[in-house]
Amino acid sequence: MSYQVLARKWRPRSFREMVGQTHVLKALINALDSQRLHHAYLFTGTRGVGKTTIARIIAKCLNCETGITSTPCGECSVCREIDEGRFVDLIEIDAASRTKVEDTRELLDNVQYAPSRGRFKVYLIDEVHMLSSHSFNALLKTLEEPPPYVKFILATTDPQKLPATILSRCLQFSLKNMTPERVVEHLTHVLGVENVPFEDDALWLLGRAADGSMRDAMSLTDQAIAFGEGKVLAADVRAMLGTLDHGQVFDLLHALIEGDARALLEAVRHLAEQGPDWNGVLSEILNVFHRVAIAQALPDGVDNGHGDRDRVLALAKALPAEDVQFYYQMGLIGRRDLPLAPDPRGGFEMVLLRMLAFRPADAGNAPSQPLKPVGISQATVDSAPTVAAATPVAPIAAAPVVVPAPAAEALKPEPVAAPAPVVAPNVPAVPEKDLPWNEPSVPVIEVEAAPEPMLDTVGEPPELPPMPLPTPDSVVPDAPEWSAAPIPEPTPEQVDAALSGMDRDDEPPLDEDYIEPDMDSAAYSYLDELASEHAAEPAPEPEPLPAAMPATGLALEWLNMFPKLPVSGMTASIGANCTLIAVEGDDWLLHLDPAHSALFNSTQQRRLNDALNQSTQRTLKVTIELVKPEQETPAQAASRFRAERQRLAEESIYADPLIQQMIEQFGAAVREDTIQPVEVVEAQA
């Protein structure tokens, strides 16, 4: 007995065996059961969704020897002849090969004759949109008023090409594409009955490759069985289809999220060995980002159409929502510009590297849940023995140390519609000001040392005792001496320069001959919108950090040294929460508060090491360990100075005679949340 392909062997022979298309089957079954039969039906839909199959089942329902029914017996001679394709009263016409008006007229000449064996004569015209305009005109009158024993069933994949006069004379049913889940479910049943071993991943590949067509899925399954020697395996199906391994897309995304350029380019290299369509790969990446965004908004709304629902949900937990939108927008623009690249692979790599260079995590937004642990106790420059905290070392020698000098005041955006702050009278200068590395999202402004301008005296505030200055524990020769020259308030020109570069703290300078691409329509509008939203909201005041022991010795040297380091952004935040523990030659050991480990990685450690090398003119080997510092860090010092300055400002307000008089006579109350030190108000102005 000759082999019969799966698409023909498993073609449904009744409505009960149909897969999907319930919206069409319900209408047809109800019409047949109630005997409300139309004379012309039009089935539309892509190839392989069941148009011809439904037409043949209708022919059996109309001509079954048991009577007009929605459940033909399948056993009578009429049903068997229709299944075998030899029923004389079912006339199947391929309109693609019979487009001439003469063919249509020949067909219509036979309409007047009654059926030979069945109850109705059924004309099935496939690909009806291929008929010529003259053929449509010849068909109009007969289609509008056919003999009572004639039924027309038209099928097409392109209903837009049909004249409106034809559409108005038919009952139109649009058949839907099959979802991958439904295709996989049906293939699982078919292969189980056929006793063919298979892998679930292989069926998902076939379901996606079928592109909504059940017939294509069955044909591809036949091909996969032949390719795999009686088995349907994922590796064989992937090789047969020449499709991209979906796991490689996730490898690219994991490397992108982790910020690992080496792993990212290595994944691209492995991908290039398959000779993929780079535009298609970028489309797959965009599809994953789209599904990740859906998972973040509605986790239950993510389907398993690609067999990767668990991995999509994991990405949704690991990525902030704004990062997903940013990557998706940049990928769309990269796909638009990909045809302009000299080499498709080079253009694809540039899209990924652009995502890596501008990823929001560089601005301080770490992933909400990392995909894999990141190494945190690793030497930066060379592989050298780690300097342990318990190792006896010689402390750094220093001249009598001055408390950290005042730095440039951090700038904050003006709150919208906020009440006017109460400016405190000038109070005795506190030895320190806010250190800029502790202010969120504000760059460090480096200026040359100059005398700090004196502020005009508003009134005579109460006498305040001077703050005690810490002194170093020991002085040892042969160590660098760290000066603590005061840093003045920044000039308006310096502030403008810092603000113009605040989003590019860690970016390398552009070449002079670089030509910026035309990306002003979609990408910049999205980025500008994000920037305007963040600019309109005032930066929240950071909470005071927990108090620690006063810095002495090496920790005090670190307080003096850190303001002069050329660091900013996340690197400055890491350094501000460190303290110097041990120094042995060029080996330095720092302790970092574990509470800030989410921002720490090998890149930040390398940048801090480079900044120390540049500042000390030496080649140091810096090791950072996650141990809570016992002595005060620069960030804690900045928090203490800020709290002290705020306390002095509030005390000066309450000590003002005019304020006291208003409180006593009018019952006025001071809004402490509007009190700001005069230096902060002047910096905001």
Domain residues for the domain of 226 are 180-241
pLDDT score, position 248: 84
Residue 331's pLDDT band, with cuts at 50, 70 and 90, is very high
The string of DSSP codes covering 433-453 is ---GGGSTT-PPPP----PPP
User: Strand locations in 260-407, DSSP E?
Assistant: none
CA angle (333 as vertex; 329, 334 as ends), nearest 5: 110
pLDDT score, position 306: 66
Percent pLDDT > 90 in the chain is 28
CA angle (228 as vertex; 223, 232 as ends), nearest 5: 80
Bridge partner list, 156 = 44
What is the longest distance spanned by two Cα atoms in the chain? 119
Assign 181 to helix, strand or coil.
helix
CA distances from 452 to 406, 407, 460, 562, 587 (A): 9, 10, 21, 20, 36
Residue 110's pLDDT band, with cuts at 50, 70 and 90, is confident
Average pLDDT, the chain: 75
| Domain shared by 480 and 564, yes or no | yes
pLDDT score, position 650: 86
| Domain shared by 333 and 414, yes or no | no
Burial of residue 673 (CB within 10 Å: 0-12, 13-18, 19+) is: exposed
Assign 192 to helix, strand or coil.
helix
470-495 as b/e, with b when 16 or more CB fall inside 10 Å? Answer: bebeeeeeeeeebebeebbbbeeebb
| Domain shared by 260 and 199, yes or no | no
User: Of 569, 576, 573, 558, which is closest to residue 616 (Cα–Cα)?
Assistant: 558
Residue 276 belongs to a domain with what CATH number?
1.20.272.10
Residue 555 has pLDDT above 50, yes or no: yes
- Give Cβ neighbours of residue 519 (< 8 Å, ≥ 6 apart): 333, 337
Q: What is the DSSP letter of 76?
A: S
pLDDT mean over 518-544: 46
What is the distance between the alpha carbons of residues 318 and 52, in angstroms, rounded to a whole number?
Answer: 48
Residue finishing a domain among 363, 385, 407: 363
497-513 pLDDT, tens digit per residue, is 444 444 444 444 444 44
| Range with lowest mean pLDDT among 45-49, 161-165, 394-398 | 394-398
Residue with tokens 């089935």: 43
Pairing of strands 121-126, 90-94: parallel
| Domain shared by 313 and 402, yes or no | no
pLDDT mean over 599-606: 83
pLDDT score, position 548: 63
How many structural domains comprise the chain?
5
User: Of 259, 188, 257, 242, which is closest to residue 217 (Cα–Cα)?
Assistant: 188
| Range with lowest mean pLDDT among 239-248, 509-518, 611-620 | 509-518
User: Of 178, 296, 290, 309, which is closest to residue 246 (Cα–Cα)?
Assistant: 309
Residue 632 has pLDDT above 60, yes or no: yes
Q: What are phi and psi of 639, to 5 degrees?
A: -65, -40
Residue finishing a domain among 174, 195, 217: 174
What is the distance between the alpha carbons of residues 77 and 65, in angstroms, rounded to a whole number?
Answer: 8
| Domain shared by 213 and 333, yes or no | no
Instruction: For residue 522, tell me if it sits in a domain.
Output: no
416-475 pLDDT, tens digit per residue, is 444 444 444 444 444 444 444 444 443 444 434 444 443 343 344 444 444 444 444 443
Residue 685's pLDDT band, with cuts at 50, 70 and 90, is low
Residue 227 belongs to a domain with what CATH number?
1.10.8.60
pLDDT score, position 459: 42
| Domain shared by 184 and 164, yes or no | no
| Domain shared by 327 and 429, yes or no | no
Helix pair 200-209, 234-241: axis angle to 10 deg = 20
Say if residues 624 and 590 touch (Cβ distance below 8 Å): yes
| Domain shared by 196 and 264, yes or no | no
Assign 488 to helix, strand or coil.
coil
